[in-house]
C-alpha cells in the first residue's frame, strides 16, 4: 500500500488517502474479505457440527445433505457496498490497530439487508488507549464530482458521522450492542479487555471515542475526495472526540470484485 496524501492534526484527528496494488487487492478479496462475507468461522463451526451429527447418527436425509453442500460451497454473494464494507473493516484491522471481534453478518436475518446503527462498530488502539470505534463506509466510482455524493448527500458519510456525534442515544445503543457481544466471550478473551478499557475511556477520561469514515474508491486518487469533508466535520465534531477519514483506492473495478472473491 502507499499513502498518496494525508493530513494529521493529532493521532485521533486526521485523514489519509491510500492506494493498494492489484496483487494486494486480489489477496485481500480472496482471503480476509471472502472470509468476512461468508463468515467462514461460523460456517465451518456449523458444518463440523452437522457432519458430526451425520457420523454419529447415520442420518442421510436429503435436507441434511443439502445443507452440508450449501455450507461447503465457497461462493459468497454480496453487493458492491457490502464488499466495500468488508474491505474497509479488513484494511482497518490490518493497518490501523482497529479490532472487530464480531462478524455482524451473524446478526442479519437477511444477509443482503442493511446493517443498522453504524457500519463499523469495534475498537481502536492509539497512544496506549483503547477507544470505541464507530464508523461509516461508502463505496463510489463517481468521477464527475469530488467529493463524491456518498460523502455529502443526506445519507452520506458526513451526515452519518455528524449524527453519531450528536446522537448520544444512538451511541448508547451501539455500546450496549458491544457489551452484549463481549459477554459471549470468556473473561480472558481480548474482547473483554478492550471492552473494559473502552467503556472506561468513554465515561471516565478525556479521550472519548473515535469516529471513522471510510470511502472506498475504484478510481484514481484525489485529495478533494475527503479534504473538504474533513475540514467541515472537524469544526463540528469537537475535540477530544476522534475524527478520522480514510479514502481507500482500489485499482480493480468494483464490478469485478465478486468474481475475484469467488475465483471466477
Task: Give pLDDT tens digits for 173-217.
Answer: 999 999 999 998 899 999 999 999 999 999 987 678 999 999 999
Q: Is the pLDDT of residue 47 over 60?
A: no
The mean pLDDT value for 205-230 works out to 93
Q: What is the pLDDT of residue 135?
A: 96
Edge-to-edge strand ranges of the sheet holding 98-99 = 2-8, 13-19, 242-249, 210-217, 129-140, 120-126, 98-99
Task: Give pLDDT tens digits for 140-182.
Answer: 999 988 999 999 999 999 999 999 999 999 999 999 999 999 9
Strands 2-8 and 210-217: what pairing? unpaired
Q: What is the pLDDT of residue 75?
A: 57
Q: Of the candidates 258, 257, 263, 262, which has an alpha carbon nearest to the alpha carbon of residue 20? A: 257
| Alpha helices (H) along the chain | 22-28, 34-38, 40-57, 62-72, 80-95, 149-152, 157-166, 168-182, 190-204, 227-236, 257-261
Higher pLDDT, 135 or 36: 135
Q: What is the pLDDT of residue 109?
A: 45
Q: What is the pLDDT of residue 53?
A: 59
Q: Is the pLDDT of residue 239 over 70?
A: yes
pLDDT above 90: percentage of residues in the chain: 64
Higher pLDDT, 204 or 58: 204
- Enter the pTM of the model: 0.84
Task: Give pLDDT tens digits for 105-133.
Answer: 666 545 554 555 799 999 999 988 999 99
Amino acid at each position: 500500500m502507499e499513502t498518496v496524501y494525508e493530513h494529521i492534526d493529532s493521532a485521533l484527528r486526521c485523514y489519509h488517502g491510500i492506494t493498494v496494488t492489484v496483487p494486494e487487492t486480489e489477496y485481500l478479496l480472496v482471503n480476509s474479505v471472502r472470509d468476512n462475507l461468508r463468515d467462514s468461522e461460523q460456517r465451518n463451526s456449523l458444518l463440523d457440527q452437522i457432519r458430526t451429527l451425520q457420523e454419529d447418527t447415520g442420518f442421510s436425509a436429503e435436507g441434511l445433505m443439502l445443507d452440508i453442500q450449501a455450507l461447503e460451497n465457497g461462493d459468497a454473494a454480496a453487493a458492491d457496498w457490502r464488499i466495500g464494507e468488508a474491505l474497509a473493516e479488513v484494511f482497518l484491522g490490518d493497518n490501523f490497530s482497529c479490532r472487530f471481534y464480531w462478524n455482524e453478518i451473524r446478526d442479519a436475518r437477511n444477509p443482503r439487508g442493511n446493517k443498522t446503527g453504524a457500519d463499523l462498530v469495534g475498537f481502536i488502539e492509539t497512544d496506549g488507549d483503547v477507544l470505541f470505534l464507530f464508523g461509516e463506509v461508502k463505496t463510489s466510482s463517481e468521477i464527475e464530482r469530488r467529493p463524491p455524493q456518498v460523502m455529502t448527500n443526506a445519507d452520506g458519510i458526513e451526515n452519518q458521522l455528524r449524527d453519531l456525534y450528536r446522537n448520544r442515544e444512538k451511541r448508547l445503543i451501539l455500546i450496549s450492542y458491544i457489551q452484549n457481544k463481549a459477554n459471549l466471550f470468556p473473561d480472558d478473551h481480548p474482547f473483554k479487555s478492550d471492552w473494559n478499557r473502552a467503556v472506561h475511556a468513554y465515561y471516565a477520561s478525556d479521550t472519548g471515542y473515535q469516529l471513522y469514515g471510510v470511502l472506498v474508491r475504484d478510481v484514481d486518487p484525489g485529495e478533494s475526495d475527503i479534504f473538504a469533508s474533513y475540514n467541515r466535520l472537524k469544526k463540528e465534531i469537537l475535540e477530544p472526540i476522534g475524527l478520522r477519514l480514510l479514502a481507500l483506492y482500489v485499482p480493480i473495478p468494483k464490478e469485478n470484485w465478486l468474481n475475484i472473491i469467488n475465483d471466477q
